[in-house]
Structure 1
């Protein structure tokens, strides 16, 4: 099972240091093409996406409702918080504490 992060070059560098595979995209159209490819890859277990792509990702969420994997996790973007949640609040939600 692979953990794959999809984002810009700066964001990908950090995830690579953490041991995740990283896919660099430059723009929404390239993001859509890569996500479509990754959600059909049976070896991808977790797909990590910066929250600035949340609205761009929504059409794919319907395809994933009937699949157990990949699990999709949105993380705060380096360029700001797009889902109006700070990192502390995000981690509380993921870990179930707070």
Structure 2
């Protein structure tokens, strides 16, 4: 199983390539759709890494893929500018998912 990066900047792409993760740098909505379709069609890809910018700008595309495809797993990662998430993002996500306050 492989990971695949869809990035909006060359710095994140370069760092992930140094770690052995293949990927692509894109900037437009249509490019994102094409890159996701290509990654989904490759059965060796088990995890798609997306920079958070795509999650903020095109959430409907990401949500549609998550709803209609069991695999690959889509994970949003921060880029060189840091994360746009709150500091307690993981705790609030777990609280929301399981209904218990930690």
What is the Cα-based RMSD across aligned positions, in Å? 2.5
Shift of 1:25: 1.3
Match status 1:2 vs 2:2: yes
Q: Which runs of 5+ in 1 are unaligned?
A: none
TM-score between the two structures when normalised by the length of structure 2: 0.69
Q: Quick one: distance in 2 between partners of 1:72 and 1:27?
A: 19
The SS at the match of 1:30 is helix
TM-fit CA distance, 1:15: 0.5
Aligned length: 91
Residues 47, 70 of structure 1: 8 Å contact kept: yes
Aligned to 2:98: none
Alignment of 1:8-47 (within 5 A): 8-47=9-48
Q: TM-score by structure 1 length? A: 0.71
Q: Which runs of structure 1 show a deviation greater than 3 angstroms over 4 or more consecutive aligned residues?
A: none
